Amino acid sequence: MKKLGVILAVIVITIIAGVAASLSASPSETVNLDMGRTHGTISTAMGSPVLGDPLAPITIVEFGDYQCHQCYNWFHNTKPAIFQEYIETGKANLVFVDLAFLGRDSPKAAQATYCAEDQEMYWEYHNILYTSQESKIDSGWANTERLKAFAFNMGLDMELFDSCLDSGKYSKRVQYNTQQARVHGVSGTPGFFIVGPDGQEQLGGAQPFSVFKQILDTMI
């Protein structure tokens, strides 16, 4: 009887210790993903957090590379109008999925955005990358040191960010996203799927706002 009590006590202590350890784990070691998240036929589980109202009837899924100058053009010339007219008003939301193929710094830049997401700063970091993009691919503007400098300037916890980026924690996540792009026939960046209540439409390239407006208005 005494023996049984000891065994039970050991089991209870082990369980409590396990729960305590999992609760006290650093944020860099936890990944908060909704593995079942899809938009239309696309699995966006490993993509960005949703920008805008998650319950909006339309979702714009953007496949992009942080070193792509056409993505830069879209970010600066088309996205602001879409944000103002459709995302801010709750008519649509946006999810960014990485298609990191242009250079050796592209996957690392994509991973860095998820390290920023660990500290709830995904979109702020995403915006900094597209604001800081330089015209030359792999020129060093998005190398590991610069990615850490962007995080430092944003006031992120550098211990967490550095360990996240250096460990390659999100390397598989970026690979999964790139694979999603290939599976769905995205053959360049930026590539878009506009997913509405009645279906989805694919768009290729940094198309002007007028094209997005035409499609979005027919879906609302």
Partner 1 sequence: MPSAIKTVYSNSKYLLLSIVIFSIMLVGLLIISEYIFLEPYVVSHIPSGTEFGFVLIVTISALSALVLPMNIFRINILKKSKQKMGGGIFGSIIGAAAGACSCGPIGFAVISTFGSVGATATAFLTNYEIPIRIIAIGILAITYFTTVKSLKIECKIDQTS
Assess 135 for contact with partner 1 (CB under 8 A).
yes
Assess 69 for contact with partner 1 (CB under 8 A).
yes
Nearest approach, Cβ of 116 to partner 1 (angstroms)? 23
The answer to whether the CB of 111 falls within 8 A of the CB of 48 is no
**Amino acid letter, 69:** H
Closest to partner 1 by CB, 24 or 214 = 214
**What is the C-alpha separation between 119 and 161, in angstroms, rounded?**
8
Pattern 1-40, binding to partner 1, x per CB under 8 A? ----------------------------------------
Scan residues 88-117 and list those touching partner 1 (CB under 8 A). Answer: 101-104
Assess 81 for contact with partner 1 (CB under 8 A).
no
Nearest approach, Cβ of 204 to partner 1 (angstroms)? 7
Assess 201 for contact with partner 1 (CB under 8 A).
yes
Closest to partner 1 by CB, 143 or 163 = 143
Closest to partner 1 by CB, 104 or 172 = 104
Distances (CA, A) of 171 to 15, 179, 214: 32, 12, 36
Tell me the two tokens of residue 95.
């999810």
Assess 76 for contact with partner 1 (CB under 8 A).
yes
Nearest approach, Cβ of 67 to partner 1 (angstroms)? 8
**What is the C-alpha separation between 80 and 72, in angstroms, rounded?**
12
**What is the C-alpha separation between 144 and 152, in angstroms, rounded?**
12
Closest to partner 1 by CB, 76 or 172 = 76
Scan residues 158-187 and list those touching partner 1 (CB under 8 A). Answer: 187
Please say whether the dihedral angle defined by the alpha carbons of residues 42, 88, 73 and 49, taken in this order, is positive or negative.
negative
CB neighbourhood size of 61 (10 A): 26
Closest CA to 56 of 90, 21, 85: 90
Stretch that binds partner 1, among 13-21, 107-115, 137-145, 153-161 (CB under 8 A): 137-145
Closest to partner 1 by CB, 52 or 64 = 64
Nearest approach, Cβ of 187 to partner 1 (angstroms)? 4
Assess 84 for contact with partner 1 (CB under 8 A).
no
**What is the C-alpha separation between 179 and 182, in angstroms, rounded?**
5
Q: Tell me which residue has tokens 């970026």.
A: 174
**What is the C-alpha separation between 6 and 67, in angstroms, rounded?**
60
**Amino acid letter, 35:** M
